[in-house]
Chains A and B, each alone.
Chain A
Amino acid sequence: MNESAFLDVKDLKIHFSTDDGVVKSVDGLSFSLERGKTLGIVGESGSGKSVTSLGILGLHRGKNAHVSGEIWLDGEDLVTASQEHVRRLRGRKMAMIFQDPLSSMHPFYTVGDQIIEAYRIHHKVSKSVARKHAIDMLGRVGIPEPKSRVDSYPHEFSGGMRQRAMIAMALSCDPELLIADEPTTALDVTVQAQILDLMRDLQREFNSALIIITHDLGVVAELSDDILVMYAGKCIEYGSAEDIFYRPEHPYTWGLLGSMPRLDREPTERLLPVKGTPPSLINVPSGCAFHPRCPYSDLTDGQSKAEVPALAPTDPGHLVRCHLSRTQRRTLWENEVKPVLETQ
Chain B
Amino acid sequence: MMAILGVWVAVGLTLFMFSFLYKDNPFYKVGENLYVGITIGYSLVKLIFETWIPNVWRVVHPEAGVWFENHEWWLILPPLFLGSLILTRFVPKYAWLSRWTFAFVVGYGSGLAIPAVQKQAEATAHPLVTHIESFDSADKAATEAEKKATDLAASKGAGSDEAIKARIDADEYRERANAAKARKDAVSAAGARADKARAAANDARKQADEMAKKGPADSEEVHAAQKKATLAERAAIGAEMATWTAYSKSEYSVLTAWGDFTTIVLFIGVFSVLFYFFFSIEHKGPVKVFSRLGIIFLMIYFGASYGYTVMGRLSLLYGRLVILRDACYPSVGFATPVLLVAMITVLVVLHFQNKDKEENA
Question: Do A and B truly interact?
Answer: no
List the interface of chain A (C-beta within 8 A of B).
none
